[in-house]
Structure 1
Amino acid sequence: MSTPVRLPFDQPGPLRPAPLLRQMQARGPVHPIRTAVGDPAWLVTGYEQVRALLDDDRLGRAHRDPDRASRTGNSVMFGGPQGDFDTEQADHRRLRSLLRPHFSPRRMRALRARVETLTVGLLDELAAAGPPADLHTALALPLPIAVICELLGVPYEDRARFRAWTRAAADTSDRARSEQGLAELFVYGRQLVARKRAEGDSDADVISRLAFTEGVSDDEAAAMGTFLLFAGHETTVTAIGKGVLWLLTAPGQWQALAADPQRVEAAVEEILRAPGLGGDGIPRYARTDLEIAGVQVRAGELVLLDIGAANHDGTMFADPDRFDIARPPVPHLAFGHGARYCVGAPLARIELQAVFSQLASRFPGLRLATAVEELRFTHDTLTGGPAEVPVTW
């Protein structure tokens, strides 16, 4: 038997899929691999299988023997097991019940106008400064940070500090840096909770509401708040950056959106589907023996649910590696599925729709100022993405 492939796959370019991954997908939906740190795992790449397993209670984030479990990397946040094996499912249900009200349709509708206003302000500054510009620093980074600060009640002037901590916590190669970043982020969260309690306004923002929720300890409120601070901006920063790259490099796509910004909802769904070309996965541990597409998986083994590969499954998406905002709608898995569907998905969609509708209508002649192959990308972090998006118009 051949030696399992070790992640990450070699990619010919940032917007081009790994040929070996596509070859593996053609052979089947489940593959033995080695993680980036050399541990054994199963990589699931088929849409049908990933979708089902995202909502399968036989998989979880906890492990009976976490010290001996396979790891995907050195990030303390996502590199290995999380939570208590015996209470994991109940803990997850409780966590979602506490967070879901803060992302209700009513609250998101109320936030939409503010996101639009923040986007207008950043694009006004972009237009005033004139070309060339870096869309990463001018738009992709500041907008999600400003939005999540207002939603959570985090001082915007603290953004440099918590941004540094979240990036350190997400480091997949340096365990000590990841642990230190997470520890500093948690201390900051405790300080925020204490401040909210002292201010006494139980409905001012998300962290205030968590701080005054009956049965929620200060540590728990801090942990939830800092998790939202991380997840609520890092992934959106990456989606904006990669979305711009896809739209500007795929033939005719920017022109199509600029000619009709009302197509933004379809464009955003394609932006969510396409950027993750596959080659990694959401880590889950088998809680019991199970079979996946005819492959026997033993209890305790690591299963990587490759959402990016699933979103490029040719049985579900015609010509899957082509970026096309006119693609017939098929539910992608960018936000997960079922019980673990991302509670922040509505917020991400609001931000992306605001960005791309306004950017396309105000800068129809936007184009990259350098070749994609020459761009700098962030590596060794959970979210990755472009470190710069130089454009002109």
Structure 2
Amino acid sequence: MPEPVRLPFEQPHPMRPAPLLRQMQGQGPIHAIRTAVGHPAWLVTGYDQVRALLDDDRLGRAHRRPDHASRTGESALFGGPLGNFDTEQADHRRMRSLLQPHFSPKRMRALRGRVEALTGNLLDELAVSGPPADLHAALALPLPIAVICELLGVPYADRAQFRAWTQAAADVTDRARSEHGLAELFSYGQQLVARKRAAGDSDADVISRLATTDGVSDDEAAAMGMTLLFAGHETTVTAIGLGALWLLATPGQWQALTDAPSRIDAAVEEVLRAPGLGGGGIPRYARTDLEIAGIRVQEGDLVLLDTGAANHDARVYADSDRFDLDRPVVPHLTFGHGARYCIGAPLARIELRVVFSQLAARFPTLELACAVEELTFNPHVLTGGLTALPVTW
């Protein structure tokens, strides 16, 4: 029997799927693989299977014997098991109940005006500086950081510091660096919580509200706040950069959006679906023996739910690897599904709608200023976003 394929898959072109991954998808929805650190795992690539398993209590992030669990990489945050196996589900429900009110539709609508103003200011600066420009540095990076700082109550002046820590924490290749970044980020969160608790303004921002919530310790408030800080900007930075790349590099798509601004919702959903070509996955551990598409998975096995591959399942999406604003609507799995659906999804959608609406209106002649093959990506962090996006107009 051949040795299982080892991640990551070789991907010769950043906007085309790894040939081996698509070959494997054609053979079935679940595959025995080895992770980047050589550990055994199952990679689930079928849309129906990934969608169902995202909301299946037989999988979780904790492991009964964490020291013996397979790892995906060296990240302290994502590389291995997290949480207490016996209380994981109750802990998750409690965390969701504490955070959900801060991401209510009412609060998100109230934030939209600030997103629009912040985006407008950044585009003013872009227009003044003139072409060529780096859209990553000018827009994709600063906007999500500014938005999450306002929402959480994190000083924007600290952005270089906490950005360095979040980048270190997300390092999938260097565990010592990842652990150090995570520790620094948590320590920063503790200091923030202490200052906000002393200030006593219980409704100023999310961290202030968490710090004054009955039953929430300072350490818990700090941990939740810093988790939101990390997740609330890192993924959106990547989505804006890659979304702009796909809109600009796919013939006719930028023009389609500038000609018909009402297509912004379709553009955002395709920006969320298309760039994740697959080849990784959300880590889960089997809490019991189970069967996935006829394959027996044993308790404790690492199961990678490849939402990117699922979002390109040819059985569900016609011409799945094409970026297409005219694509018939099939809900993508980028934000997950079910009980663990991303709590920040409404905020991410607001940011993407505002960004691409304003960008298309103000820079209709925007285009790439280099060949796609010249672009570079960050291979050390989980999100793997662009390091720069040269554009002109």
Q: TM-score, structure 1 length as denominator?
A: 1.00
Aligned partner of residue 73 in structure 1, secondary structure: coil
> Partner letter of residue 369 of structure 1?
A
**Residue 88 of structure 1, CA deviation:** 0.2
**Residue 17 of structure 1, CA deviation:** 0.2
Q: Distance in 2 between matches of 1:324 and 1:361?
A: 20
Map 1:334-345; keep pairs closer than 5 Å: 334-345=334-345
**Residue 261 of structure 1, CA deviation:** 1.5
Map 1:295-314; keep pairs closer than 5 Å: 295-314=295-314
Give the match for residue 368 of structure 1: 368
> Partner letter of residue 121 of structure 1?
N
Map 1:16-95; keep pairs closer than 5 Å: 16-95=16-95
The answer to whether structure 1 residue 188 and structure 2 residue 188 are counterparts is yes
Q: Distance in 2 between matches of 1:60 and 1:121?
A: 42
**Residue 51 of structure 1, CA deviation:** 0.1
Q: Distance in 1 between matches of 2:132 and 2:251?
A: 22
Q: Distance in 1 between matches of 2:56 and 2:296?
A: 16
Give the match for residue 152 of structure 1: 152
**Residue 164 of structure 1, CA deviation:** 0.1
**Residue 260 of structure 1, CA deviation:** 1.2
**Residue 89 of structure 1, CA deviation:** 0.3
**Residue 262 of structure 1, CA deviation:** 1.6
Q: Distance in 2 between matches of 1:326 and 1:267?
A: 9
Give the match for residue 279 of structure 1: 279
The answer to whether structure 1 residue 210 and structure 2 residue 210 are counterparts is yes
Q: Distance in 1 between matches of 2:12 and 2:326?
A: 26
> Partner letter of residue 328 of structure 1?
P
Q: Distance in 1 between matches of 2:98 and 2:344?
A: 13
Aligned partner of residue 291 in structure 1, secondary structure: strand
Map 1:91-102; keep pairs closer than 5 Å: 91-102=91-102
Q: Distance in 2 between matches of 1:320 and 1:57?
A: 29
Q: Distance in 1 between matches of 2:224 and 2:218?
A: 10
**Residue 326 of structure 1, CA deviation:** 1.3
Give the match for residue 168 of structure 1: 168
Q: Deviations over 1:55-76 (max 9, x none)?
A: 0000000001100100000000
Q: Distance in 1 between matches of 2:194 and 2:345?
A: 28
**Residue 92 of structure 1, CA deviation:** 0.3
**Residue 220 of structure 1, CA deviation:** 0.2
**Residue 91 of structure 1, CA deviation:** 0.2
Give the match for residue 249 of structure 2: 249
Q: Distance in 1 between matches of 2:12 and 2:316?
A: 24
Give the match for residue 131 of structure 2: 131
Q: Distance in 2 between matches of 1:376 and 1:321?
A: 21
> Partner letter of residue 171 of structure 1?
D
Aligned partner of residue 127 in structure 2, secondary structure: helix
Q: Deviations over 1:123-173 (max 9, x none)?
A: 010001100000000000000000000000000000000000000000000
> Partner letter of residue 314 of structure 1?
A
Aligned partner of residue 136 in structure 1, secondary structure: helix
Q: Distance in 2 between matches of 1:179 and 1:261?
A: 44
Q: Which one is further off, 199-208 or 255-264?
A: 255-264
Give the superposed CA RMSD: 0.4
Give the total of aligned pairs: 393
> Partner letter of residue 29 of structure 2?
P
Q: Distance in 2 between matches of 1:225 and 1:167?
A: 16
> Partner letter of residue 207 of structure 2?
I
Give the match for residue 13 of structure 1: 13
> Partner letter of residue 234 of structure 2?
E
Aligned partner of residue 332 in structure 2, secondary structure: coil
Q: Distance in 1 between matches of 2:30 and 2:376?
A: 32
Aligned partner of residue 342 in structure 1, secondary structure: coil
**Residue 358 of structure 1, CA deviation:** 0.6
Aligned partner of residue 283 in structure 1, secondary structure: strand
Q: Distance in 2 between matches of 1:220 and 1:9?
A: 37
The answer to whether structure 1 residue 321 and structure 2 residue 296 are counterparts is no
**Residue 391 of structure 1, CA deviation:** 0.1
**Residue 221 of structure 1, CA deviation:** 0.1
Q: Distance in 2 between matches of 1:257 and 1:350?
A: 17
Q: Distance in 2 between matches of 1:345 and 1:271?
A: 13
Give the match for residue 392 of structure 2: 392
Q: Which runs of 5+ in 1 are unaligned?
A: none
> Partner letter of residue 211 of structure 2?
A
> Partner letter of residue 250 of structure 1?
T
> Partner letter of residue 24 of structure 1?
M
**Residue 347 of structure 1, CA deviation:** 0.2
**Residue 122 of structure 1, CA deviation:** 0.4
Once the two structures are aligned, what percentage of the paired residues are identical?
79
Give the match for residue 115 of structure 1: 115
Aligned partner of residue 147 in structure 2, secondary structure: helix
Q: TM-score, structure 2 length as denominator?
A: 1.00
> Partner letter of residue 329 of structure 2?
P
Q: Distance in 1 between matches of 2:383 and 2:312?
A: 19
Q: Distance in 2 between matches of 1:161 and 1:186?
A: 13
**Residue 217 of structure 1, CA deviation:** 0.3
Q: Distance in 1 between matches of 2:29 and 2:200?
A: 53
Aligned partner of residue 329 in structure 1, secondary structure: coil
